[in-house]
Structure 1
Amino acid sequence: MKIFLLLTLFISPLLQAKVWHSQSAWTQESSKEFSNWIASDEYNVNLFQVGSKWENIKTDCADAIIAAQVIFAFERRIQFSLQLSEGSAHSITSDSHKFDQIQDDVQRVKSFIHYLGESIGTEGLARYNSYPIDLREIRPGDFYISRWKTNGNFIRHAAMIKEVLPTGHLVLYSSTTPVKVRELEVREGMPLHVLSGKPWGFKRIRPAAMSAHELEDYSLNQYDLLNQVGEDSFFPRVIDHLKVEEDSLEENLKRRVRNLCSQLKLRNREINSTQIYLESIGHRCMNYSEYDEHSTPSRDKSLLNGIKRLLYGWKKIRRSNSATELSHELTSALDSILRKNDSDEARLELRKMCHIRLNLNGENLLYDLKNFFDLSMKGQISSHPNDTVAKRWGAPGQNTSCKSFY
């Protein structure tokens, strides 16, 4: 009996010498199964939120894509590997011994995901761990990565393709910076930024130890297309490759409103989360890292610019013959934001399309895109996390005396 116990004590740590014990390698068949999993209800915006098996996983855009791949691989017992640099055999795999001390399987995988997030970002995902695909074969589980320059600095973003719509438009799920636990953001249509060339663009996870010519749907046609038609026509041509039915102007405008509505609702959840955090720290002034995590300047600017782009397009459309194709409900809603129709009926149509419920200074009210747009244009929307909820949404109140870091 003592010998058996000694053997058990000796063998047990060895059994935990991997993040999980894999039964197969990631293959092209695994990629097809991953595609089906991404398209299913198992992969959803609340995957990393409280109540999910995978709650409290912190992500930015690249982390969210890698985390989804790791979760799928763990649940199917597929070996997972990421390459760290070009021309290097150095990689991180699910055979790692770094997490042996964590007994719980799920917690061990979560720690593995966070470790990967600290080790690799969008550059590594684009350059060493994915390959460009044929535009005609884009499917759920593929992802889009872009890089562009703002104020002299490179900005990068990656989004998972959840669904390809019949009109050729995409449903994209993504996280953002800073790294934190968050609900995934949803966008319908095409990504906001056109790829600048290799290695960016529409990509698929690259199975380890497979050469380019062996990869399913491997193609450089997206780069050829970009060179042929230019940035302005690139996404419309991608849509042409994917669509099985024509888009309508009505649905196009509604899709743009849904995207803005998604941003408005996500801002609301971020602010509510910030209030919970403020209560936990006694409402003291936030330090730089806390401010960076909870402030919303980029989110607020993006939402405002999105509304501006919608209204710019709507101004052109409403002066054209195309406006007669649209429903009265939609035209009334858009005219309400544009201040061309101040009737209660038009505002009601707008709120049918998008609104959130807020309590500001003790008053329960419905808040819509027009509220945000008008108050933003007046400079009354606050991005500062130490401001009151009322101030965050542009209602009257005392400004915080806490420092603004940017």
Structure 2
Amino acid sequence: MFRNLILLVSLFLGVSAQAAVWTDVNQWSPAYEARFNEWVRTEWRVDFFSRKSLPNGQSNPYYGMRVDCADTVYSMRIIFAFENRLPFVIQDPTASGKTLSNKMSRWDSQSEINRLRQFLWFMYETVSTRSLPNDTYPVAISRDTIRSGALIMTTKKNHHSWTVKEILPIGVPHLVYNSVVGSASGYGLQERQSWPNPDWVFEGEFSVSGNAGFRYWRPESSLNRPVWEVPGYSDEQYRIPLNKWVRYVQNRLALRQETDNQMITRLLKTTCEGFTGRVTSVNEGLAYLKSNSRCMDYATYDTYSTPNRDRRIFDDFMALRRAYREILHINGGNQLDATVVTQLNKIFPAINQSAATETAQMGPSVQTGASVCVTAYLPGKAMDLAEFKRRIFAGLISNNPHDDGAYRWGEVRGPSQRARSCQSWDPWSPDLSQE
């Protein structure tokens, strides 16, 4: 009997030693895709990794995962698959023709939730925006295909991605995402209810081969196959004139039209979030700069620089400016609240002029009752959205992490002595001709 007990224990340990990350007992189907879509719509929140406790009082098993943009996209799919005992399989970006899946058994001795966390960390080190095209495919423009759980990618030039939490009734995407993170970054995600600039999304290659635009997850059977063989593949979004892309797609996805006031309020909120979110990002770079005297290598520079973030904020300002000008042209702004008009006129004091002319005429913005989004950007210093707009349009804002705070926030024009003496990559400056 003792020998039999030893044999049973050995067999148990042998099985345990081959433990998968989780055992999948279900299979992806239209019903599970619909459940995934609903889970993303209701559960995929900006505090998904930062809240310590769940609404039921239990500890959050995902607390403390620090993710960048591609990590965020993959996490959404991995975690739902884990919680619903579904397979998660992607193309192995390190080995042609092979796959990675939840059947990996390298963390056998750990509990299931720890195996999952180790699997997530492994994926974060392995996947990126470069691997996403192999695991997803471009979709047609409809609410059936562009839905919660989908994603938007840029071309490789801008290497960014967003998850689609939902498509709002007005046809605008509610996006949850994150940016490149440093060691001091928090665990929270970011969100926006507005369109990324399609000129930036598709920059360099507005075609199927550029891999940008709306995409959805490939079934396992379509991995390691040409993208045009994936069921549901469509090149529709690449056949729209780029200057009409947002209007066309939004009209196709909308269930109702938003009012002028709702649109302007939404765009103001998005622009403000970009401004306030930049504070944390710049502070991380300033903290690194303070403790490191040497010039940064490319990887470190890429972590703490903000060219893409600054361009997205500038694009949001321009989208707000274009929307306000169009409203004034159509109906004189008579559908806008008087308070909103006062706020807009402070940000865009020469709205009927070109952006370049307005910028040249605009002096420093003093905070008044019409100020929007007053934000503390450095210790003891704050500015409103109008002043930040003036500085970024004037090219004063620095995205170079070798610059100190005064330069990063446009108090003085750079580059600083240190920035001039160190190599930099991918600088960005505003293009005021984007009317």
Pair in the same fold by TM > 0.5: yes
Residues 124, 338 of structure 1: alpha-carbon distance in 2 compared, 3 angstrom cutoff:
same
Residues 121, 179 of structure 1: alpha-carbon distance in 2 compared, 3 angstrom cutoff:
farther
Say if 1:130 and 1:205, in contact at 8 Å, map to a contact too: yes
Q: Shift in Å at residue 203 of structure 1?
A: 2.5
CA-atom RMSD in angstroms:
3.8
Residue from 298, 301, 315 that aligns with 2:308: 298
Say if 1:83 and 1:91, in contact at 8 Å, map to a contact too: yes
Q: Shift in Å at residue 236 of structure 1?
A: 2.0
Residues 243, 294 of structure 1: alpha-carbon distance in 2 compared, 3 angstrom cutoff:
same
Deviates more, 1:138-147 or 1:313-322: 313-322
Give the corresponding residue for 1:33.
35
C-alpha distance in 1, partners of 2:285/2:51?
A: 15
Residue from 92, 97, 100 that aligns with 1:92: 100
- Partner SS for 1:348: coil
C-alpha distance in 2, partners of 1:55/1:400?
A: 41
C-alpha distance in 1, partners of 2:15/2:171?
A: 50
C-alpha distance in 1, partners of 2:69/2:126?
A: 14
Residue 339 (structure 2) pairs with residue 329 (structure 1): yes
Residues 396, 323 of structure 1: alpha-carbon distance in 2 compared, 3 angstrom cutoff:
same
Q: Shift in Å at residue 250 of structure 1?
A: 2.0
C-alpha distance in 2, partners of 1:274/1:13?
A: 48
- Partner SS for 2:164: strand
Structure with bigger strand share is 1
Q: Shift in Å at residue 336 of structure 1?
A: 0.5
C-alpha distance in 2, partners of 1:350/1:185?
A: 24
Residue from 160, 165, 170 that aligns with 2:173: 170
Amino acid at match of 1:46: D
Say if 1:28 and 1:207, in contact at 8 Å, map to a contact too: no
Residue 202 (structure 2) pairs with residue 206 (structure 1): no
Deviates more, 1:381-390 or 1:62-71: 381-390
Say if 2:364 and 2:390, in contact at 8 Å, map to a contact too: no
- Partner SS for 2:90: strand
Say if 1:169 and 1:188, in contact at 8 Å, map to a contact too: yes
Residues 100, 386 of structure 1: alpha-carbon distance in 2 compared, 3 angstrom cutoff:
farther
Amino acid at match of 1:8: V
Residues 7-28 of structure 1, C-alpha deviations (whole Å, 9 max, x = no match): 4355335325311222223333
C-alpha distance in 1, partners of 2:364/2:313?
A: 24
Residue 197 (structure 2) pairs with residue 188 (structure 1): no
Residue 253 (structure 2) pairs with residue 237 (structure 1): no
Identity %, equivalent residues: 22
Residues 218-267 of structure 1, C-alpha deviations (whole Å, 9 max, x = no match): 645x634653x422333322222222211222222222222211211211
Amino acid at match of 1:35: N
Q: TM-score, normalised by structure 2?
A: 0.74
Give the corresponding residue for 1:151.
none
C-alpha distance in 1, partners of 2:364/2:307?
A: 32
Residues 183, 11 of structure 1: alpha-carbon distance in 2 compared, 3 angstrom cutoff:
same
Residue from 375, 383, 396 that aligns with 1:356: 375
Residues 79, 321 of structure 1: alpha-carbon distance in 2 compared, 3 angstrom cutoff:
closer
Amino acid at match of 1:223: D
User: Where does 1:118-137 land on structure 2 (aligned, <5 Å)?
Assistant: 118-130=125-137, 132-133=139-140, 135-137=142-144
Q: Shift in Å at residue 145 of structure 1?
A: 2.8
Give the corresponding residue for 2:82.
74
C-alpha distance in 2, partners of 1:400/1:22?
A: 57
Residue 376 (structure 2) pairs with residue 369 (structure 1): no
Residue from 159, 164, 167 that aligns with 2:162: 159
Deviates more, 1:26-35 or 1:90-99: 26-35
Residues 224, 315 of structure 1: alpha-carbon distance in 2 compared, 3 angstrom cutoff:
closer
C-alpha distance in 1, partners of 2:10/2:371?
A: 66
Give the corresponding residue for 1:405.
424
Residues 298, 175 of structure 1: alpha-carbon distance in 2 compared, 3 angstrom cutoff:
same
Residue 264 (structure 2) pairs with residue 256 (structure 1): no
Residues 136, 308 of structure 1: alpha-carbon distance in 2 compared, 3 angstrom cutoff:
closer
Give the corresponding residue for 2:62.
54
Deviates more, 1:307-316 or 1:257-266: 307-316
Amino acid at match of 1:190: W
